[in-house]
Amino acid sequence: MPIDLWTTHSLDKVFPDSEKPPRASQSISLKAARHETEDAQVALRIPRDMEIAQASFSLPHLIGPDRRRISSRNLDAWWIWYTYVLENPPANKDPASYLRKAPAFFPDAFLEEKKIAIRDEWTQPLWVSVSIPKGTPAGDYRGTMAIDLVTKSGERHHFEVPMTVTVWPFTLPDKPHLHHTEWFEAGVIADYYHVERWSEQHWTWLRRIAADMARHKQDMILTPFSSLVQVKRTKTGRFSFDFSKLDRWVKTFKKAGVDWIEGSHVAGRTGDFESDIVWGRFPVYARDGKQIDTSRDKLSEREFEPYVEQLLKAVYAHLKKRGWHKQYAQHIADEPIPENEQSWCHRARKVREWLPGGPIIDAVMSGGLEGPVEWRVPQIQHTGPEVPRGPNEELWSYVCLAPQGQYPNRFLDYPSIRNRIIFWLSWSLGLKGFLHWGYAFWVRWQGVPVDVPVSPWLDATGASIYCADRTPLPAGDPHIVYPGRNSICSSIRWEVNRKGFEDFEYLYLLERAVAPAGKRARGRAASAARKLLARVRSEIAPDPLGHTRNEELLLGAREEAGKLLATLAAEE
């Protein structure tokens, strides 16, 4: 039997037992704007009884109009790793809500290795990305990607995959029009790689993370002032602050392109989910360097509040001095609910007194907080057209281990369209940002009863399936990237997430281009653009449950938007 090779689009998930479809394509054809990255997949299926084959690839230059080229440096490809998923999301009773029943292998992580072994009766996907530089002339660019397999016995197989990339004559903006934050803890990275916290090795990994976030359209970084600012109390009871670590943090992320400072939570619960919100304690040192006891046994909430006040006021004054204060938002406490809404509001009012400028942002699970949170972030199922909004409020969305069922999310066992549609909904519903808690929590989840190391390559739930007293995390919820030896390894879900942000820019640019006051508000292309935008709102992404599940429909709408933007650009 021959080795099967075929190509497919980026929303398709290829499994170990996937077989070549009838009339499958064997070439890659992409269309993209300048300053955009577009993706495809190549799949190889090894027949039964063939010896294990070593597979490698080489990427071409793409040659376009007037012998202009897109360099091979702008092309990337990664072999995809299959993660074994033991359970589907626990609330998903409908088999139509996930791709296949667990336990099963699901494709996700990108491998650092450029050469891998493929076993027989196994289908191996290869993810291919083409990034279009800003100054690239419009037109068609062509080249041929080579893939070589060598069996153990030395039998060689060579494949050539023709590639065509159409570059449209418009450019996506440098800065996203939809805010984006993925939370992570710097300490997790240091602990995973066994490096000293805040050592030069640690900062090397933080630079890699900053670059990865910026490439994936993240413009905000959760910034833990309590660990980045050293607080000392003098004899007179006043405080001094060392901002050197904070400055390096902000500069590291801003240099990469992650501009917004997202102050981490200054308060939280003391007990169960319904318990009151209280100030979070942080280290304070005496002049001799010894840590002062600021525990709740030593200092009451009222006594500790001035510590929080002085820290936040000092941070704000320092950010203002550096010229960074206009890109600063501050959290209070995560996910307030009606039972602790009052205690959350008390602390929010205090923070608002202390910080005169920047918005307060929080993920909320209470319906009565319209107004106190300038950037209110409910779960995506609570963001429909009928959701009330405060007068000066920006509404975002977030997903985590919820919602499940047929709602959008980015679990490993979900179709990729349910990840990408989040950002079509963001445009359709007028949302201003997207938040997720799990960038790289490569740690054992709270409550796991055994002390064992956890690898995201082997367990996508933080071993939470072993927690008997709480709901396990759905596969992929704690992380969307993987730890490489020398780099942060991406994933299908992370690249699809990025594509969603690029889709948002298409819709944003198209709406602005045909606005009544715009230069291109009239004509056939403008009329077609308005019809497409109306169809996105009514058919493709009308609400969080009524969105399309049709991959071809979504990809077709994205291509139609690109063609219309190209036409409108040519009419200028």
Rounded-to-integer distance, Cα 399 and Cα 115, Å: 35
Retrieve residue 549's tokens.
């599940």
- Long-range Cβ contact pairs of 498-502 (< 8 A, separation 24 or more): 498/37, 498/215, 498/216, 498/217, 499/10, 499/39, 499/420, 500/419, 500/420, 500/421, 500/422, 500/423, 500/424, 501/176, 501/178, 501/180, 501/216, 501/217, 501/423, 502/36, 502/37, 502/172, 502/217
Q: Tokens 């653009």 belong to which residue?
A: 529
Rounded-to-integer distance, Cα 371 and Cα 253, Å: 30
Judge if pTM exceeds 0.85: yes
Retrieve residue 388's tokens.
């009330």
pLDDT of residue 541: 98
| Residue 314 near residue 241 (C-beta atoms within 8 A) | yes
CATH number listed for the domain at residues 4-171: 2.60.40.10
- Give which of 227, 267, 433 is closest to 348, Cα–Cα: 267
- Helix H, strand E, coil C: the string for 5-64 is EEEEECCCCCCCCCCCCCCCECCEEEEEEECCEEEEEEEEEECCCCCCEEEEEECCCEEC
pLDDT of residue 51: 86
- Give which of 58, 59, 48, 46 is closest to 117, Cα–Cα: 46
Rounded-to-integer distance, Cα 526 and Cα 507, Å: 13
pLDDT of residue 520: 63
- Give which of 560, 538, 501, 526 is closest to 37, Cα–Cα: 501
Rounded-to-integer distance, Cα 549 and Cα 553, Å: 8
pLDDT tens for the chain, 572 residues: list them.
689 999 999 999 999 999 999 999 999 999 999 999 999 999 999 998 888 889 999 999 999 999 999 999 999 999 999 999 999 998 887 888 999 999 999 999 999 999 999 999 999 999 999 999 999 999 999 999 999 999 988 999 999 999 999 999 999 999 999 999 999 999 999 999 999 999 999 999 999 999 999 999 999 999 999 999 999 988 777 899 999 999 999 999 999 999 999 999 999 998 999 999 999 999 999 988 899 999 999 999 999 999 999 999 999 999 999 999 999 999 999 999 999 999 999 999 999 999 987 899 999 997 778 778 999 999 999 998 778 777 788 999 999 999 999 999 999 999 999 999 999 999 999 999 999 999 999 999 988 888 888 999 999 999 998 887 778 899 999 999 999 999 999 999 999 999 999 999 999 999 999 987 656 667 899 999 999 999 999 999 999 999 999 999 999 999 999 999 999 998 76
Rounded-to-integer distance, Cα 302 and Cα 291, Å: 20
Bridge partner residues of 148 (DSSP)? 56, 158
pLDDT of residue 519: 60
